[in-house]
Amino acid sequence: MKTFVPKKEQIEKKWWLVNAENKVLGRLATEVAILLRGKRKPEFVNFLDIGDFVIVINAERIKLTGKKIEQKKYYSHSGYPGGIKEKTLKELLEKKPEEIIKKAVWGMIPKNKLGREAYKKLKVYKGSHHPHEAQKPEEYQF
């Protein structure tokens, strides 16, 4: 018996709408990463991109546990000596709440060509409105 490997024409990609309101950041990120990779599909193979598109709304209403809001820090470096910058989760939540979800999901997908393709299918928005109504996304409950 041969192993079934889907062809590109056979792969069906859906659009999912995830409401981040009152969802814990890590649990939301794992569910989104699973949808982006397509791991819940029966035809999943780890060397093909068969995942779906995911729209996350209400990113500013994410729930955080513990003391993460004051203690968690995000670092970036300009490449120059002494060019390291740090922002707390609270600062990032006020200015760019969608970046928090993007960074959490990026940490849960592979760091290769396949992971970058999956990451491009993630759309995160601050409010409850998004420009993807034409794709008719289905609401994803978990």
Q: Per residue in 105-122, pLDDT tens?
A: 999 999 999 999 999 999
| Report field, pTM of the whole predicted structure over 0.85 | yes
Extract the tokens encoding 95.
Answer: 């200015």
The tally of domains found in the chain comes to 1
Residue 83 covered by a domain:
no
Residue 134 covered by a domain:
yes
Residue 125 covered by a domain:
yes
Look-up of token digits 């393709």 = 117
Nearest to 51 by CA among 91, 105, 94: 105
Amino acid 14: pLDDT:
96
- Strands of 122-124's sheet in order across: 122-124, 53-57, 15-19, 138-139
Residue 85 covered by a domain:
no
Collapse the DSSP code of 5 into the 3-class scheme (helix H, G, I; strand E, B; otherwise coil) and give the result.
coil
Residue 118 covered by a domain:
yes
Q: What is the CATH number of the domain that holds 36?
A: 3.90.1180.10
d(CA 132, CA 46): 28
Q: What is the mean pLDDT of residues 12-37?
A: 96
* CA 128 to chain CA centroid, nearest Å: 16
Residue 1 confidence (pLDDT) above 90: no
Q: What is the mean pLDDT of residues 89-102?
A: 95
Extract the tokens encoding 5.
Answer: 């490997």
Amino acid 142: pLDDT:
85
Range of the structural domain that residue 60 is part of: 13-64+97-139
Amino acid 129: pLDDT:
95
Amino acid 22: pLDDT:
95
Amino acid 121: pLDDT:
97
Residue 1 covered by a domain:
no
Q: What is the mean pLDDT of residues 80-92?
A: 96
